[in-house]
A and B are shown apart, each in its own frame.
Chain A
Protein backbone atom coordinates (compact mmCIF):
# COMPACT_ATOMS: atom_id res chain seq x y z
CA UNK A 1 0.00 0.00 0.00
CA UNK A 2 1.37 3.45 -0.88
CA UNK A 3 2.30 5.90 1.87
CA UNK A 4 -0.46 8.32 0.86
CA UNK A 5 -3.14 5.59 0.89
CA UNK A 6 -1.92 4.41 4.30
CA UNK A 7 -2.00 7.90 5.79
CA UNK A 8 -5.49 8.42 4.29
CA UNK A 9 -6.68 5.21 5.93
CA UNK A 10 -5.28 6.32 9.27
CA UNK A 11 -7.02 9.66 8.93
CA UNK A 12 -10.33 7.91 8.16
CA UNK A 13 -9.85 5.63 11.19
CA UNK A 14 -9.09 8.62 13.45
CA UNK A 15 -12.22 10.46 12.24
CA UNK A 16 -14.41 7.37 12.60
CA UNK A 17 -13.03 6.78 16.11
CA UNK A 18 -14.04 10.32 17.12
CA UNK A 19 -17.50 9.92 15.60
CA UNK A 20 -18.21 6.59 17.30
CA UNK A 21 -16.84 8.00 20.58
CA UNK A 22 -19.25 10.93 20.32
CA UNK A 23 -22.11 8.49 19.72
CA UNK A 24 -21.02 6.33 22.69
CA UNK A 25 -20.84 9.34 25.01
CA UNK A 26 -24.46 10.18 24.22
CA UNK A 27 -25.59 6.72 25.31
CA UNK A 28 -25.75 7.48 29.05
CA UNK A 29 -28.19 9.57 31.07
CA UNK A 30 -30.96 9.12 28.55
CA UNK A 31 -34.05 11.27 29.15
CA UNK A 32 -36.31 8.32 28.28
CA UNK A 33 -34.96 6.33 31.27
CA UNK A 34 -35.48 9.27 33.56
CA UNK A 35 -39.09 9.52 32.41
CA UNK A 36 -39.63 5.76 32.91
CA UNK A 37 -38.31 5.88 36.49
CA UNK A 38 -40.24 9.03 37.33
CA UNK A 39 -43.43 7.45 35.98
CA UNK A 40 -42.77 4.33 38.00
CA UNK A 41 -42.17 6.38 41.17
CA UNK A 42 -45.33 8.42 40.51
CA UNK A 43 -47.38 5.25 40.07
CA UNK A 44 -46.01 3.94 43.34
CA UNK A 45 -47.05 7.17 45.07
CA UNK A 46 -50.55 7.07 43.51
CA UNK A 47 -50.95 3.48 44.57
CA UNK A 48 -50.01 4.46 48.14
CA UNK A 49 -52.56 7.30 48.09
CA UNK A 50 -55.31 4.98 46.86
CA UNK A 51 -54.41 2.44 49.51
CA UNK A 52 -54.43 5.12 52.24
CA UNK A 53 -57.81 6.47 51.15
CA UNK A 54 -59.18 2.94 51.23
CA UNK A 55 -57.93 2.42 54.81
CA UNK A 56 -59.26 5.80 55.96
CA UNK A 57 -62.80 5.10 54.77
CA UNK A 58 -63.30 1.34 54.82
CA UNK A 59 -66.55 0.04 53.32
CA UNK A 60 -67.85 3.57 52.70
CA UNK A 61 -68.75 2.65 49.15
CA UNK A 62 -68.34 -1.00 48.08
CA UNK A 63 -68.24 -0.10 44.36
CA UNK A 64 -65.56 2.53 44.93
CA UNK A 65 -63.66 0.09 47.17
CA UNK A 66 -63.63 -2.55 44.45
CA UNK A 67 -62.51 -0.04 41.82
CA UNK A 68 -59.75 1.23 44.08
CA UNK A 69 -58.51 -2.32 44.63
CA UNK A 70 -58.58 -2.98 40.87
CA UNK A 71 -56.68 0.25 40.21
CA UNK A 72 -54.02 -0.66 42.80
CA UNK A 73 -53.55 -4.08 41.15
CA UNK A 74 -53.36 -2.53 37.68
CA UNK A 75 -50.87 0.11 38.85
CA UNK A 76 -48.67 -2.57 40.40
CA UNK A 77 -48.66 -4.53 37.13
CA UNK A 78 -47.82 -1.48 35.01
CA UNK A 79 -45.11 -0.40 37.45
CA UNK A 80 -43.56 -3.85 37.37
CA UNK A 81 -43.58 -3.81 33.55
CA UNK A 82 -42.04 -0.30 33.47
CA UNK A 83 -39.26 -1.30 35.89
CA UNK A 84 -38.54 -4.42 33.87
CA UNK A 85 -38.49 -2.47 30.60
CA UNK A 86 -36.16 0.21 32.01
CA UNK A 87 -33.80 -2.37 33.50
CA UNK A 88 -33.59 -4.44 30.31
CA UNK A 89 -33.17 -1.32 28.17
CA UNK A 90 -30.39 -0.07 30.47
CA UNK A 91 -28.57 -3.38 30.06
CA UNK A 92 -29.01 -3.36 26.27
CA UNK A 93 -27.68 0.20 26.20
CA UNK A 94 -24.74 -0.83 28.37
CA UNK A 95 -23.95 -3.63 25.95
CA UNK A 96 -24.18 -1.28 22.94
CA UNK A 97 -21.85 1.13 24.77
CA UNK A 98 -19.32 -1.64 25.33
CA UNK A 99 -19.39 -2.58 21.64
CA UNK A 100 -18.92 1.10 20.73
CA UNK A 101 -15.99 1.25 23.20
CA UNK A 102 -14.41 -1.70 21.45
CA UNK A 103 -14.87 -0.10 18.00
CA UNK A 104 -13.37 3.19 19.24
CA UNK A 105 -10.30 1.46 20.70
CA UNK A 106 -9.80 -0.61 17.53
CA UNK A 107 -10.13 2.45 15.26
CA UNK A 108 -7.79 4.48 17.48
CA UNK A 109 -5.19 1.74 17.30
CA UNK A 110 -5.59 1.47 13.52
CA UNK A 111 -5.15 5.25 13.26
CA UNK A 112 -1.82 5.20 15.10
CA UNK A 113 1.05 5.82 12.68
CA UNK A 114 3.71 4.13 14.81
CA UNK A 115 2.97 0.52 13.88
CA UNK A 116 6.04 -1.22 12.47
CA UNK A 117 6.03 -1.56 8.68
CA UNK A 118 4.29 -4.70 7.48
CA UNK A 119 2.19 -5.08 10.64
CA UNK A 120 -1.44 -4.21 10.99
CA UNK A 121 -4.28 -4.42 13.48
CA UNK A 122 -5.42 -8.04 13.29
CA UNK A 123 -8.71 -9.74 14.13
CA UNK A 124 -6.92 -11.33 17.12
CA UNK A 125 -6.02 -7.83 18.36
CA UNK A 126 -9.69 -6.94 18.02
CA UNK A 127 -10.80 -10.10 19.87
CA UNK A 128 -8.55 -9.16 22.79
CA UNK A 129 -10.75 -6.08 23.38
CA UNK A 130 -14.02 -7.99 23.83
CA UNK A 131 -15.89 -7.85 27.09
CA UNK A 132 -18.68 -10.33 26.42
CA UNK A 133 -19.25 -13.78 25.02
CA UNK A 134 -21.81 -12.30 22.64
CA UNK A 135 -19.04 -10.29 20.97
CA UNK A 136 -16.78 -13.36 20.77
CA UNK A 137 -19.55 -15.49 19.21
CA UNK A 138 -20.27 -12.80 16.62
CA UNK A 139 -16.56 -12.52 15.86
CA UNK A 140 -16.22 -16.28 15.37
CA UNK A 141 -19.30 -16.37 13.12
CA UNK A 142 -17.89 -13.62 10.87
CA UNK A 143 -14.44 -15.29 10.71
CA UNK A 144 -16.08 -18.62 9.81
CA UNK A 145 -18.25 -16.98 7.15
CA UNK A 146 -15.36 -15.13 5.52
CA UNK A 147 -12.93 -18.02 5.70
CA UNK A 148 -15.42 -20.70 4.71
Chain B
Protein backbone atom coordinates (compact mmCIF):
# COMPACT_ATOMS: atom_id res chain seq x y z
CA UNK B 1 0.00 0.00 0.00
CA UNK B 2 1.30 3.49 -0.75
CA UNK B 3 2.31 5.52 2.29
CA UNK B 4 1.16 9.05 3.06
CA UNK B 5 3.13 11.12 5.58
CA UNK B 6 0.82 13.45 7.55
CA UNK B 7 2.26 16.36 9.57
CA UNK B 8 0.06 18.52 11.77
CA UNK B 9 0.45 19.84 15.33
CA UNK B 10 -3.22 19.12 16.05
CA UNK B 11 -3.68 15.56 17.33
CA UNK B 12 -7.33 15.67 16.23
CA UNK B 13 -6.35 16.64 12.68
CA UNK B 14 -3.70 13.92 12.52
CA UNK B 15 -6.20 11.29 13.71
CA UNK B 16 -8.89 12.55 11.35
CA UNK B 17 -6.59 12.60 8.30
CA UNK B 18 -5.25 9.14 9.19
CA UNK B 19 -8.78 7.75 9.47
CA UNK B 20 -9.79 9.09 6.05
CA UNK B 21 -6.59 8.03 4.29
CA UNK B 22 -6.53 4.55 5.86
CA UNK B 23 -10.18 4.11 4.89
CA UNK B 24 -9.22 4.88 1.29
CA UNK B 25 -6.49 2.21 1.28
CA UNK B 26 -3.33 4.09 2.22
CA UNK B 27 -0.72 3.42 4.89
CA UNK B 28 -0.24 6.49 7.06
CA UNK B 29 2.83 7.77 8.92
CA UNK B 30 2.36 10.80 11.15
CA UNK B 31 4.28 13.56 12.91
CA UNK B 32 3.31 16.53 15.08
CA UNK B 33 5.76 18.99 13.50
CA UNK B 34 8.28 19.36 10.68
CA UNK B 35 11.17 18.06 12.80
CA UNK B 36 9.33 14.78 13.42
CA UNK B 37 8.65 14.59 9.69
CA UNK B 38 12.34 14.97 8.83
CA UNK B 39 13.23 12.33 11.43
CA UNK B 40 10.77 9.90 9.80
CA UNK B 41 12.27 10.55 6.36
CA UNK B 42 15.81 10.09 7.70
CA UNK B 43 14.68 6.86 9.38
CA UNK B 44 13.74 5.46 5.97
CA UNK B 45 10.03 6.24 5.60
CA UNK B 46 9.41 6.67 1.87
CA UNK B 47 6.03 8.37 1.44
CA UNK B 48 4.31 8.56 -1.93
CA UNK B 49 2.68 11.85 -0.88
CA UNK B 50 3.29 14.21 2.04
CA UNK B 51 0.48 16.28 3.62
CA UNK B 52 1.71 19.06 5.86
CA UNK B 53 0.30 21.90 7.92
CA UNK B 54 2.15 25.24 7.78
CA UNK B 55 2.00 26.55 11.33
CA UNK B 56 3.73 24.00 13.54
CA UNK B 57 6.18 24.30 16.43
CA UNK B 58 9.92 23.43 16.23
CA UNK B 59 10.02 23.25 12.43
CA UNK B 60 7.12 24.76 10.50
CA UNK B 61 5.72 23.55 7.17
CA UNK B 62 7.90 25.81 5.00
CA UNK B 63 11.03 24.76 6.91
CA UNK B 64 10.00 21.11 6.59
CA UNK B 65 9.51 21.39 2.81
CA UNK B 66 12.94 23.01 2.38
CA UNK B 67 14.60 20.26 4.46
CA UNK B 68 12.65 17.46 2.75
CA UNK B 69 13.72 18.71 -0.68
CA UNK B 70 17.36 18.27 0.39
CA UNK B 71 16.78 14.54 1.10
CA UNK B 72 17.36 12.47 -2.06
CA UNK B 73 14.36 10.14 -1.54
CA UNK B 74 11.85 13.02 -1.21
CA UNK B 75 13.35 15.49 -3.67
CA UNK B 76 10.44 14.87 -6.07
CA UNK B 77 7.77 13.53 -3.68
CA UNK B 78 4.51 15.51 -3.99
CA UNK B 79 4.04 17.73 -0.92
CA UNK B 80 0.55 19.13 -0.32
CA UNK B 81 0.10 21.96 2.14
CA UNK B 82 -3.12 21.68 4.19
CA UNK B 83 -3.61 24.85 6.19
CA UNK B 84 -5.93 27.59 7.38
CA UNK B 85 -3.71 30.07 5.51
CA UNK B 86 -5.18 31.00 2.15
CA UNK B 87 -3.07 34.11 1.56
CA UNK B 88 -1.02 34.56 -1.61
CA UNK B 89 2.19 35.46 0.21
CA UNK B 90 2.30 32.24 2.22
CA UNK B 91 1.31 30.25 -0.85
CA UNK B 92 4.16 31.77 -2.86
CA UNK B 93 6.55 31.09 0.01
CA UNK B 94 5.45 27.43 0.15
CA UNK B 95 5.72 27.05 -3.62
CA UNK B 96 9.20 28.59 -3.61
CA UNK B 97 10.20 26.13 -0.87
CA UNK B 98 9.06 23.23 -3.07
CA UNK B 99 5.39 22.58 -2.23
CA UNK B 100 3.49 20.83 -5.02
CA UNK B 101 -0.06 21.85 -4.05
CA UNK B 102 -2.28 23.60 -1.57
CA UNK B 103 -5.55 22.77 0.21
CA UNK B 104 -7.22 25.38 2.42
CA UNK B 105 -8.99 24.22 5.60
CA UNK B 106 -11.83 23.53 5.94
CA UNK B 107 -11.50 21.00 3.13
CA UNK B 108 -13.92 18.14 2.53
CA UNK B 109 -12.73 14.53 2.69
CA UNK B 110 -13.58 14.04 -1.00
CA UNK B 111 -11.50 17.08 -1.94
CA UNK B 112 -8.55 15.75 0.01
CA UNK B 113 -8.86 12.22 -1.37
CA UNK B 114 -9.27 13.42 -4.93
CA UNK B 115 -5.97 15.37 -4.69
CA UNK B 116 -4.15 12.45 -3.03
CA UNK B 117 -5.56 9.91 -5.52
CA UNK B 118 -4.50 12.04 -8.47
CA UNK B 119 -0.94 12.04 -7.16
CA UNK B 120 -0.93 8.45 -5.97
CA UNK B 121 -3.79 5.99 -6.57
CA UNK B 122 -4.45 3.58 -3.67
CA UNK B 123 -3.88 -0.07 -4.53
Taking the complex as formed, is A92 at the interface, i.e. its CB lies under 8 A from any CB of chain B?
Answer: yes
Given contacts A86-B19, A98-B55, contact A29 B11 (CB under 8 A): yes
Question: Are B85 and A90 interface neighbours, CB within 8 A?
Answer: no
> Smallest CB–CB gap between B40 and chain A, Å?
21
Bin chain B's interface residue count: 20 to 34
Docked Cα-Cα span, A86 to B86, in Å, equals: 22
> Smallest CB–CB gap between A108 and chain B, Å?
15
Taking the complex as formed, is A40 at the interface, i.e. its CB lies under 8 A from any CB of chain B?
Answer: yes
> Smallest CB–CB gap between A144 and chain B, Å?
19
> Smallest CB–CB gap between B51 and chain A, Å?
13
Taking CB atoms, residues of chain A closer than 8 Å to B106 are 88, 91-92, 95
Taking CB atoms, residues of chain B closer than 8 Å to A133 are 84-87
Question: Are B20 and A87 interface neighbours, CB within 8 A?
Answer: yes
Taking the complex as formed, is B96 at the interface, i.e. its CB lies under 8 A from any CB of chain A?
Answer: no
Contacts A37-B15, A90-B16 known; 6 new A-B pairs at CB < 8 A: A28-B11, A37-B19, A83-B23, A91-B16, A91-B106, A94-B8
A residues near B (Cβ < 8 Å) are: 27-30, 33, 37, 40-41, 44, 83-84, 86-88, 90-95, 97-98, 131-134, 136
